[in-house]
């Protein structure tokens, strides 16, 4: 019976930490705009919440999920969290930042970033290699845009917020090359 309570605690605490993280982002981007850098310090909350959910996932099933399924679960949980935070940031950027001209190069970068992110999100379910490549391209385009164009640099710390997506791209590539092939070899024998 104690394991039932522990599993309930893990899932509840994990979800509450992720909600708290989203609340800190909403507070920093919409309510107290002068405290916007709090969102960077809140990132460990959603990572901790995701790992609490992973702990629940490992203990809540009849048979223990294999390494590949655990990796897919944590990558999916982190990606869902980052998607929510990315759209919160985009809404704040649209509302509070000055309008940008979409007919010149810095203005074209923002829709390209959104397309790269959505493509990585869609492909992350089945094609981890492509998702990892899209997320890495997203981050390198952020670095290029922030360093090259002052219009993007003044819109916020994209390169700091995007570090999570850079790590996510690296983890997807690691999953594809290190975890997934081992799992497929074991199923063939």
| Closest residue by Cα to residue 87 from 99, 95, 75 | 95
Dihedral over alpha carbons 13, 42, 80, 164 (to 10 degrees): -130
**The tokens 């995007």 sit on which residue?**
162
Share of the chain above pLDDT 70, in %: 90
pLDDT digits (tens, 9 = 90+) for 20-64: 888 888 888 888 877 667 777 787 887 888 888 888 888 776 677
Residue 1 predicted with pLDDT over 50: no
**Rounded distance, CA 46 to CA 44, Å?**
6
Q: What are the residue boundaries of the structural domains of the chain, listed by start?
A: 1-96, 101-189
Burial class (CB in 10 A: 0-12, 13-18, 19+), 56: buried
pLDDT at 62: 67
């Amino acid at each position: 019976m104690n394991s039932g309570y522990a599993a309930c605690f893990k899932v509840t605490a994990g979800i509450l930490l992720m909600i708290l993280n989203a609340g800190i982002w909403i507070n920093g981007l919409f309510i107290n705009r002068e405290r916007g850098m709090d969102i960077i310090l809140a990132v460990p909350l959603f990572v901790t919440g995701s790992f609490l959910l992973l702990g629940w996932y490992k203990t809540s099933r009849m048979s223990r999920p294999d390494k590949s399924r655990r990796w897919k679960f944590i990558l999916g949980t982190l990606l869902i969290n980052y998607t929510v935070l990315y759209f919160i940031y985009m809404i704040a950027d649209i509302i509070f930042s000055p309008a940008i001209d979409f007919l010149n190069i810095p203005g074209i970068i923002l829709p390209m970033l959104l397309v790269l992110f959505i493509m990585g999100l869609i492909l992350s379910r089945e094609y981890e290699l492509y998702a990892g490549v899209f997320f890495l391209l997203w981050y390198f385009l952020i670095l290029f845009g922030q360093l090259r164009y002052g219009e993007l640099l003044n819109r916020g710390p994209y390169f700091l917020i995007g570090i999570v997506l850079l790590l996510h791209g690296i983890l997807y590539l690691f999953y594809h090359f290190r975890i997934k092939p081992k799992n497929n070899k074991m199923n063939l024998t």
